[in-house]
Amino acid sequence: MAAGPGATSDTGPAAGAGEEAGEHVKPFTPEKAKEIIMSLEQPAVFCNMVFDWPAQHWTAEHLSEVLPGKRIRFRMGLKSTDTAPQFETACSYAEATLEEFLTWNCGQPHISGPFRDYDHSKFWAYADYKYFVNLFEDKTDIFQDVMWSDFGFPGRNGRESTLWIGSLGAHTPCHLDSYGCNLVFQVQGRKRWHLFPPEDTPFLYPTRIPYEESSVFSKVNVVNPDLKRFPQFRKARRHMVTLSPGQVLFVPRHWWHYVESIDPVTVSVNSWIELEEDHQARVEEAITRTLVCALKTAEDPHNTRAWLNPTEVEETSHEVNCRYLNGAVSAFFDHYRTSKVIEMQALRTNGEELNVHNHMEVGQTGRQNLTLETVKQEAASPFGPDLVPVIQSPEEAPSERGGIFESDGKDFVGKDGEHFGKLHNTKRQRRMSRSENAIVEQVASHGTTAPSQTLISTDDLLDCLVNPQQTSGYGRLLLVSDQSSCQQLLEELWGKGLFEGNKDLMG
């Protein structure tokens, strides 16, 4: 298999160089791996971390023996070069066993069974988002074959994971995940990942149609974009990597990604890691769900299939959605209340006083120390042979790019001169100004090149109302406006004596 910058070559499926040399030491301790995951803001590939995982042997053939007769839902898509994304609402579906999938995938003519209507030369099949707890419901011992504890998450295994099995060409449309960050273990075959940073969101033309909780889709087919319709996509900074067996990809929060299978059979296992920001994100998602369902149901009450992703099986009534929204808000305050109590109790236990003025004075000197510490941390880059950054791709076509990491890997310098040999912490100010400029330019480009539009559709309205940049503001406004919850929280903390000596905080 090909090697990227600093990656070991010819490692074979899930086997590390250390293992071949008779050593069994992983390059990162669980504590260090978690530290990297929680601080890194660009995608990166971990190597030589899973060579001892039993799940390394989970080929499609092996899984067909583990799950004999188990019917799985496959998404069937066309191997086409259309400029429109193949959303899940436009796909068909087949219920089949893995054995039937493997037989069909051999390309034999005149096949019978669930795939009989799908010419292998024209279609791909994808068993995606298959939660272990549903797939292996009577074989729970298999959960232990996946050991995310090696990445600093003790107790996390297959129970908190999903399985993905696909044929050549199978892919997920470009989208970002609203919740958490993502760890992806490649078991069999190779997948090509196209990733875009969060600050490029305006260039991806986000949409919530089709609607799926926690997924914001792009209107752009990023592998064959319609640049006349989506001219701003030219400015999106594509990062590409081909993930091979035995490698684990880290996808930071809110990074856009399009994933395609480039081998005859691919198998992946992933787990979404919860983050602190998820508590507010759930409020934002509840707002989005309420607005989308209300407007789309009013438009056509009897055709939810046209706009609701097949993965969404819950009731979409306004009453249910309002309960969901209130539950998300309550959960946010419950979490905040609990975390503040723990934080303040810890401060009191350590003998630290919650004095605002003293805290400000300490903060001034502490900031200097923090700056020095940051410089030291950045100087000690985590990147190397066992952690390879996914960097911005050159402008030429994918077929002209060489190597699985599309770079020589020497300095990891992006197009704008950003050095990726250090933790890539994007400045919020730069991110905002870039996004604001994109919005202005989109309006200008539509005003000069787009045909006159006399009718605004419900989808057009929703693209404005539930744009990710807007829902973030809605969530903050809703939480701040809930004065009773805020006041109740402060009163509870006061009653526990956690503000003792700090009456200014209650004012």
Reported as a single tens digit per residue, the pLDDT across 298-312 is 998 888 888 999 988
* Residue 453 pLDDT grade (very low, low, confident, very high; cuts 50, 70, 90): very low
Residue 440: predicted pLDDT: 47
Assess whether pLDDT exceeds 50 at residue 26. Answer: yes
Range 154-181 average pLDDT: 97
CA-to-CA dists, residue 95 to 26, 71, 92, 312, angstroms: 40, 6, 11, 18
Residue 487: predicted pLDDT: 61
Query: Is the pLDDT higher at 464 or at 204?
Result: 204
Range 395-409 average pLDDT: 42
Residue 451: predicted pLDDT: 45
CA-to-CA dists, residue 1 to 7, 16, 36, 190, 377, angstroms: 11, 13, 26, 10, 33
Range 208-229 average pLDDT: 96
- Do residues 233 and 223 lie in contact, with contact meaning Cβ atoms separated by under 8 Å? no
- Do residues 410 and 4 lie in contact, with contact meaning Cβ atoms separated by under 8 Å? no
Assess whether pLDDT exceeds 70 at residue 495. Answer: no
DSSP 384: B
Residue 348: predicted pLDDT: 67
Assess whether pLDDT exceeds 50 at residue 10. Answer: no
Residue 371: predicted pLDDT: 47
Q: How many CB atoms lie within 10 A of CB 439?
A: 13
Q: What share of the chain is helix, strand, coil (3-state, %, to 5)?
A: 40, 20, 40
Which of the residue ranges 49-53, 171-175, 474-478 would you say has the lowest mean pLDDT?
474-478
Most confident stretch, 278-282, 310-314, 419-423 = 278-282
Cα four-point dihedral sign 223, 227, 232, 235: positive
Range 224-242 average pLDDT: 97
Residue 415: predicted pLDDT: 35
Residue 488: predicted pLDDT: 62
Q: How many CB atoms lie within 10 A of CB 21?
A: 8
Q: Supply the mean pLDDT for the chain.
A: 80
Range 191-215 average pLDDT: 96
How far apart CA 446 and CA 442 sit, in angstroms, is 6
Range 95-103 average pLDDT: 97
Residue 399: predicted pLDDT: 39
Helices 458-465 and 278-299 cross at an angle (nearest 10°) of: 160
Residue 291: predicted pLDDT: 94
* Residue 482 pLDDT grade (very low, low, confident, very high; cuts 50, 70, 90): low
Residue 225: predicted pLDDT: 97
Assess whether pLDDT exceeds 50 at residue 507. Answer: no
Assess whether pLDDT exceeds 70 at residue 14. Answer: no
How far apart CA 344 and CA 498 sit, in angstroms, is 6
Range 75-88 average pLDDT: 93
Q: Which of 243, 266, 258, 297 is nearest to 406 (CA)?
A: 243
Residue 5: predicted pLDDT: 36
Assess whether pLDDT exceeds 60 at residue 279. Answer: yes
Assess whether pLDDT exceeds 50 at residue 428. Answer: no
Range 18-22 average pLDDT: 44
Q: Which of 244, 259, 130, 124 is nearest to 187 (CA)?
A: 244
Helices (H), 16-175: 17-20, 30-39, 60-66, 98-105, 132-135
What tokens appear for 409 in the block?
């890997």
What is the chain's length? 507
The residues facing 205 across adjacent strands are: none
Could you give the count of Cα atoms lying within 13 Å of 23 in the half-sphere of its Cβ?
Answer: 9
- Do residues 69 and 131 lie in contact, with contact meaning Cβ atoms separated by under 8 Å? no
Residue 314: predicted pLDDT: 81
Query: What is the enclosing helix (H) or strand (E) of 201?
Result: none
> pLDDT tens digits, residue range 108-163?
877 889 999 999 999 999 999 899 999 998 899 999 999 999 999 999 999 999 99
Query: Is the pLDDT higher at 446 or at 276?
Result: 276
Residue 62: predicted pLDDT: 97
What tokens appear for 392 in the block?
């911005």
Q: Which of 232, 220, 194 is nearest to 83 (CA)?
A: 220
> pLDDT tens digits, residue range 35-62?
999 999 999 999 999 999 999 999 999 9
Range 323-348 average pLDDT: 83
Residue 381: predicted pLDDT: 84
Most confident stretch, 10-14, 20-24, 338-342 = 338-342
Kindly provide the b/e burial profile for residues 389-415, where b requires at least 16 CB atoms within 10 angstroms of the residue's own CB: bbbbbeeeeeeeeeebbbbebeebebe
Most confident stretch, 92-96, 296-300, 334-338 = 92-96
Range 269-282 average pLDDT: 96
* Residue 184 pLDDT grade (very low, low, confident, very high; cuts 50, 70, 90): very high
Helices 278-299 and 468-481 cross at an angle (nearest 10°) of: 110
How far apart CA 350 and CA 357 sit, in angstroms, is 19
Residue 273: predicted pLDDT: 97
Assess whether pLDDT exceeds 70 at residue 357. Answer: no
Strands in 47-170 per DSSP E = 72-78, 92-96, 123-131, 162-167
Q: Look at residue 6 and give its three-state secondary structure.
A: coil
Helices (H), 112-184: 132-135
**Strand pairing of 239-243 and 256-261?**
unpaired
Query: Is the pLDDT higher at 331 or at 408?
Result: 331
